[in-house]
A and B are shown apart, each in its own frame.
Chain A
């Protein structure tokens, strides 16, 4: 176990649904990240939070909405997704953003959009 948990592990949703992904880290880190992992593509960084403040939004469509209520929890709210949004969504944490530190990943949420 890496100290980063994600729920749910699997999610199937229709294009009109609204759902949320949850991430929790027990490592005392201050930076948290959302990545999208699609087949045959590099991991794509979506959002970064540092000390609860969003510091990066890598041109992610507004149908993905992140929330970071504290340094231990990170959410990704989903609404009106498209089938091409089907992927593995990974959460990661590190001591702080902007430093060359190891990022620790959760197991991911496998999302399927019908």
Chain B
């Protein structure tokens, strides 16, 4: 089955700096890669996603890049703000076999004012 590795597990940045979280996946058939943000006491919320036919996608301060050859994808947050502090999860959807989302272990991002 699919295996998703996520790094780093914790990340601290100064307000205004950029943050980058990286994930690798194992199943070359995976074709959908969402990123979720989970704040304390809440469920994960989708913040951006990318499909395998696209290399990069941006939404304001958030961007995701995908390298299918290397089987890795990354989340980039620019001009970080204190409200960006949360746990971020990457996931990969395999279109073959299990048809499930496989999640990374999460990255706890702290933005220091």
Chain B contact residues: over half helix, strand or loop, or mixed? strand
A107 at the interface (CB under 8 A from B): yes
Smallest CB-CB separation from A104: which chain B residue? B46
Chain B residues with a Cβ closer than 8 Å to the other chain, count: 24
A90 at the interface (CB under 8 A from B): yes
Chain A residues with a Cβ closer than 8 Å to the other chain, count: 24
Which residues of chain B from 66 to 99 have any CB-CB distance to chain A below 8 Å in the complex? 89, 93, 95, 99
Contact mask for chain A residues 4-41; partner B; CB cutoff 8 A; 1 contact, 0 none:
10100000000000000000000000000000000011
Q: How far is the CA of A74 from the CA of B42 in the complex (A)?
A: 19
Given contacts A100-B32, A100-B93, A100-B95, A42 and B43 within 8 Å (CB-CB): no
- Write the nearest CB–CB distance from B21 to chain A, whole angstroms: 14
Q: Do residues B89 and A43 form an inter-chain contact, with CB atoms below 8 A?
A: yes
Q: What is the count of residue pairs linking A and B with beta-carbon distances less than 8 angstroms?
A: 49
Q: Do residues B4 and A42 form an inter-chain contact, with CB atoms below 8 A?
A: yes
Q: How far is the CA of A80 from the CA of B34 in the complex (A)?
A: 35
What would be 17 A-B contacts, judged by CB atoms less than 8 Å apart?
A: A40-B105, A41-B105, A42-B89, A42-B105, A45-B100, A100-B51, A100-B93, A101-B32, A102-B34, A102-B46, A103-B101, A105-B36, A105-B44, A105-B45, A106-B43, A107-B43, A108-B43
B contact residues vs A (CB 8 Å cutoff): 4, 31-32, 34, 36, 41-46, 49, 51, 89, 93, 95, 99-106
A contact residues vs B (CB 8 Å cutoff): 2, 4, 6, 40-43, 45, 48, 56, 90, 92, 97-108
Give me 13 other A-B pairs in contact (C-beta within 8 A), A43-B103, A105-B45, A107-B43 excluded: A2-B43, A2-B45, A6-B43, A41-B105, A42-B89, A42-B105, A42-B106, A43-B89, A48-B100, A56-B100, A100-B31, A100-B51, A103-B34
